[in-house]
Amino acid sequence: MRIVVCTKETPDTAAKVEVSADGSVSWGDAPLVINPWDEYAVEEALQLKDRGASGITVLAAGTEVTRDALRHALAMGCDDAVLVDDPTLEQADTLLVSKALAAAVRKVDDVGIVLCGRTTTDGGSGLTPVQIGRWLGWSTLTYVSRVLAVDFAAGKITVERLLEEGRQVVESPLPVVISVVKEINEPRYPSFMGIRKAGKAEIPVWSAADLGLEGVAQVQWGAVSAPVTRDVQCEMITAVSVEEAADRLAEKLIADKVV
Amino acid sequence: MGGVWVWIEQHDGKAAGASWEAVGVGRRLADALGEKVTALVFGHNAAALGSEAIKRGADSALVCDDETLADFRVDPVASLLSALAKQHGPSVIMAGATTRGTDVMGPAAVDLDAGVVADVVEIEVERERIVASRPVYAGKLIARATIPAGVQMFTLRGRAFPAPAVDEARTGAVEAVSPVRAEGDITTKVTSFEVRGGEVSLTEAAIVVAGGRGVGGPEGFEPLRELAGVLGAALGASRATVDAGWIPYEYQVGQTGKVVSPDLYIAAGVSGAVQHQAGMRTSKVIVAINKDADAPIFRLARYGIAGDLFQVVPALTAAFRKRLGK
Ligand SMILES: Cc1cc2nc3c(=O)[nH]c(=O)nc-3n(C[C@H](O)[C@H](O)[C@H](O)COP(=O)(O)OP(=O)(O)OC[C@H]3O[C@@H](n4cnc5c(N)ncnc54)[C@H](O)[C@@H]3O)c2cc1C
Ligand SMILES: Nc1ncnc2c1ncn2[C@@H]1O[C@H](COP(=O)(O)O)[C@@H](O)[C@H]1O
């Protein structure tokens, strides 16, 4: 059974993101990188291949700028990549993006597991993985911190998930959609050979028509603005002794009613 | 037809804080739209939450009490939510932007072909339309969104809205509903659940005490744990300490960890990298304790002490013990 990893590009997390005068978002000359969470998904796919999966396809819904994220995943060791690119997806919401990704997954033969990151660091909501799973009619296991057992022949998987109150262990039949948290592994760096291979790889583009995709985005995005910056002036607390400084801080926090 | 629905997330019969906050928001929106608020409680032995939701502001509740809903699993919960919505036709469905809230609202939206705006921090009715705002680019920007057609679904960031108090005088109808999935139709099985022992949940905590690389090692968190104990706070951590293996990943605050928004965030030995800020920037009051008076964390903080955390934190614990009489 094959694995499909879903990924996209995001501005580098240290980038200064700003709204331009025309209302568009820009991040200067900071690079676009593979969504950091997806590196864990790619790494887990590679490890699952060692555990018996037959191959790994990387999948992204995006535009030409998304190719670098796909190449990063190929350089880490994935076998092939597909870019879903269509003008109708430009103003998409997770409902439509997940529908497109699910349609693309259906075009890949014998998929056992779709792997996603927990969320995207730009417009992320964590909704995409569960929605891909729903469109496919497969069960979805989110926030997975460990794949405890997987049996591709028998079509079964057991994972540990991180929920607010603790760790849940769940069994599910394959195929399944999984989103992973950072704890699951330590992503490898692309190898020199991998980078060379990825540079030469052909990445086919699938359009909405190729996927038989219909539907519209339901969410309409309006203006983007900078968050209201609270005018915080840090009051440095100094005193002759640490005890006195600590006591003054405690007094202030109690007066501010936050303790 | 119409109405504002709130899905009440629960674990062991206890509702998530974000769900009550959503009931409060639901009440406000419903009043502005001239609609009613319905709370949805799905679980086993959790039916009492239906009447609690009414006391907190809902007009009525739909309660499904069934063994198949004892362990949280996506399909039976999401399927029930969408089936009821198809039957009753609410105009708005809300839940907390928690792990379960996301898990349930996503598939239900697919079933209903509805838009979802996730992680909402502001929501208003403007000219009869709901306009929601959410942080994007890790909180560096705020985006506004509307859902012009169909059911409007929102998940609300925890602690972004006040939790409504219980009003014992409020009454309303609690209606029992049946599940839509029998055990045999549910493909997943929960085999165990290991609860983290008696700690305050990081995302719900009113106070967070967080440690960074400055704590120096796993034992370095001990003074912070003591302070958290005295304050009834949750413990948090920077990614550097998690990556070093000093503390488990569940404690990580930031872009690749949890987003928290407590009343008070005490950062000790944390430099304040942008990725850490993404997880705590919206805290009401931030206190920084750092040896380096130029550390970026001081630019976010309301109060700062430049000093060694191993001296400052125990002194702070002692000061609070004395002042709070603990
Ligand atoms: C894609 C990506 C995602 C990331 N996600 C996250 C995330 O989710 N969360 C996160 O936190 N980071 C995240 N990071 C990492 C982030 O960039 C920083 O590396 C990290 O936050 C630094 O952690 P720190 O502040 O504990 O350590 P440092 O930056 O090393 O700071 C340690 C601080 O402790 C102070 N100090 C040392 N000793 C003492 C003492 N005895 N008393 C008082 N102060 C002392 C020092 O002056 C220093 O300011 C991410 C990075 C990337 C690239
Ligand atoms: N446009 C996309 N193309 C491919 N995968 C995506 C896309 N958007 C989201 N994903 C996947 O879904 C996960 C969660 O994204 P999100 O729902 O945006 O927070 C990501 O970590 C990716 O694995």
Question: What pLDDT does B303 receive?
Answer: 97
Sign of CA dihedral B17, A147, A170, B186: positive
B1 — contact with chain A (CB < 8 Å)?
Answer: no
Chain B contacts in chain A segment 187-226 (CB below 8 A): 215, 217-226
More confident: A228 or A92? A92
Report CA Rg, chain B: 21
Closest CA to ligand 1's atom 39: B214
Are A168 and B72 inside 8 Å of each other by CB? yes
In angstroms, rounded to a whole number, what is the distance separating the alpha carbons of residues A245 and A241? 6
Are A127 and B16 inside 8 Å of each other by CB? no
Nearest to A237 among B189, B305, B322 (CB): B305
Are A220 and B318 inside 8 Å of each other by CB? no
Close Cβ partners of B180 (under 8 Å, ≥ 6 residues apart): B76, B79, B80, B83
Half-sphere exposure of B17 (CA within 13 A, CB side): 18
Q: What is the mean pLDDT of chain A?
A: 95
Are A36 and B255 inside 8 Å of each other by CB? yes
A67 φψ region: left (φ > 0), alpha (ψ -120 to 50), beta (else): alpha
Q: For the segment B71-119, what is each residue's pLDDT rounded down to a tens digit?
A: 999 999 999 999 999 999 999 999 999 999 999 999 999 999 999 999 9
Report the residue of chain A nearest B144, measured CA to CA: A222
In angstroms, rounded to a whole number, what is the distance separating the alpha carbons of residues A154 and B164? 50
Q: For the segment A208-228, what is each residue's pLDDT rounded down to a tens digit?
A: 999 999 999 999 999 899 887
Q: Which of A3, A4, A6, A39 to mutate to test the pocket of ligand 2 (most atoms within 8 A of CB)?
A: A6
Nearest to B106 among A130, A217, A243 (CB): A130
In angstroms, rounded to a whole number, what is the distance separating the alpha carbons of residues A9 and A16? 16
Two tokens, residue B172:
């309303």
In angstroms, rounded to a whole number, what is the distance separating the alpha carbons of residues B290 and B225? 17
Residue B1 clears pLDDT 70, i.e. is over it: no
What is the reported pTM?
0.93
Q: What is the mean pLDDT of chain B?
A: 96
Are A235 and B103 inside 8 Å of each other by CB? no
Token look-up 């057992």 returns: A149
Query: If DSSP codes are grouped into helix, strand and coil, which group holds residue B287?
Result: strand
B4 — contact with chain A (CB < 8 Å)?
Answer: no
Q: Which of A9, A10, A13 to mutate to test the pocket of ligand 1 (most atoms within 8 A of CB)?
A: A13
Sign of CA dihedral A143, A145, A148, A150: positive
Q: Name the residue type at position B156.
A: L
Token look-up 């239906």 returns: B50
In angstroms, rounded to a whole number, what is the distance separating the alpha carbons of residues A122 and B135? 9
> b/e for A77-115, b at 16 or more Cβ within 10 A?
bbebbbbbbbebbeebbbbbbbbbbbbbbeebeebbbbb
Report the residue of chain A nearest B296, measured CA to CA: A234
Under 8 Å between Cβ of A95 and A217: yes
- Within 10 angstroms of residue A208's Cβ, the number of other Cβ atoms is 19
Query: How many angstroms does the Cα of residue A60 sit away from the middle of ligand 2?
Result: 8
Question: What pLDDT does B244 receive?
Answer: 96
* Residue range A125-145: mean pLDDT, rounded: 97
Which domains are assigned to chain B? 4-185 (3.40.50.620), 207-324 (3.40.50.1220)
Are B110 and A126 inside 8 Å of each other by CB? no
CATH value of A2-206 in 3.40.50.620, 1.10.10.60, 3.40.50.1240, 3.40.30.10: 3.40.50.620
Query: How many angstroms does the Cα of residue A9 sit away from the middle of ligand 2?
Result: 9
Question: What pLDDT does B102 receive?
Answer: 97
Q: For the segment B243-258, what is each residue's pLDDT rounded down to a tens digit?
A: 999 999 999 999 999 9
Question: What pLDDT does A231 receive?
Answer: 67
Q: For the segment B252-278, what is each residue's pLDDT rounded down to a tens digit?
A: 999 999 999 999 999 999 999 999 999
Two tokens, residue B249:
């990943």
**Ligand 2 atom nearest to A38, measured from its CA:** 21
In angstroms, rounded to a whole number, what is the distance separating the alpha carbons of residues A201 and B235? 46
In angstroms, rounded to a whole number, what is the distance separating the alpha carbons of residues B310 and B299? 22
Question: What pLDDT does A29 receive?
Answer: 86
Residue A100 clears pLDDT 80, i.e. is over it: yes
- Within 10 angstroms of residue B242's Cβ, the number of other Cβ atoms is 21
B229 — contact with chain A (CB < 8 Å)?
Answer: no
- Could you tell me which of A155, A147, A149 has the C-alpha nearest to residue A1? A155
Report the residue of chain A nearest B195, measured CA to CA: A166
Under 8 Å between Cβ of B81 and B108: yes
Question: What pLDDT does A7 receive?
Answer: 98
Chain B contacts in chain A segment 10-29 (CB below 8 A): 11, 13-14, 16-17, 19, 25
In angstroms, rounded to a whole number, what is the distance separating the alpha carbons of residues B32 and B10? 28
Question: What pLDDT does B163 receive?
Answer: 94
Question: What pLDDT does A202 receive?
Answer: 97
Sign of CA dihedral A178, B77, A131, B161: negative
Question: What pLDDT does B145 receive?
Answer: 97
Question: Percent of chain B beyond pLDDT 90?
Answer: 93
Q: Which residues of B touch A103 (CB under 8 A)?
A: none
Residue B120 clears pLDDT 80, i.e. is over it: yes
Identify from B141, B203, B204, B264 which residue to disrupt to test chain A contact, counting A C-beta atoms within 10 A and taking the largest count: B141
β-pair partners for B81: none
Query: How many angstroms does the Cα of residue A249 sit away from the middle of ligand 2?
Result: 43
Residue B199 clears pLDDT 80, i.e. is over it: no
State in Å, rounded, how far the first CA of chain A is from the last one: 55
In angstroms, rounded to a whole number, what is the distance separating the alpha carbons of residues B14 and B65? 14
In angstroms, rounded to a whole number, what is the distance separating the alpha carbons of residues A7 and A175? 19
Question: What pLDDT does A230 receive?
Answer: 67
Under 8 Å between Cβ of A234 and B302: yes
- Within 10 angstroms of residue A36's Cβ, the number of other Cβ atoms is 20
Residue A165 clears pLDDT 90, i.e. is over it: no
Question: Percent of chain A beyond pLDDT 90?
Answer: 84
| Least distant ligand from the CA of B220 | 1
Farthest CA pair distance, chain A: 73
A156 — contact with chain B (CB < 8 Å)?
Answer: no
Question: What pLDDT does B260 receive?
Answer: 94
β-pair partners for A205: A83
Query: How many angstroms does the Cα of residue B181 sit away from the middle of ligand 2?
Result: 29
In angstroms, rounded to a whole number, what is the distance separating the alpha carbons of residues B112 and B1? 15
Question: What pLDDT does B197 receive?
Answer: 65
Question: What pLDDT does A247 receive?
Answer: 97
Query: A14 pLDDT band (50/70/90 cuts)?
Result: confident
* Residue range B286-311: mean pLDDT, rounded: 97
Residue B138 clears pLDDT 90, i.e. is over it: no
B193 burial type by CB count under 10 A (0-12 exposed, 13-18 middle, 19+ buried): middle
Query: A124 pLDDT band (50/70/90 cuts)?
Result: confident
In angstroms, rounded to a whole number, what is the distance separating the alpha carbons of residues B151 and B165? 28
Question: What pLDDT does B8 receive?
Answer: 98
* Residue range B146-172: mean pLDDT, rounded: 96
Q: For the segment B176-198, what is each residue's pLDDT rounded down to a tens digit?
A: 999 999 999 999 999 999 887 66
Token look-up 């794949």 returns: A147
Nearest to A250 among B116, B201, B319 (CB): B319
Question: What pLDDT does B198 receive?
Answer: 64
- Could you tell me which of A101, A100, A82 has the C-alpha nearest to residue A179? A101
Query: What is the DSSP secondary structure assignment for residue B213, as one 8-state letter?
Result: G
Residue B201 clears pLDDT 90, i.e. is over it: no
Q: For the segment A45-79, what is each residue's pLDDT rounded down to a tens digit?
A: 999 999 999 999 999 999 999 999 999 999 999 99
Here the ipTM equals 0.93
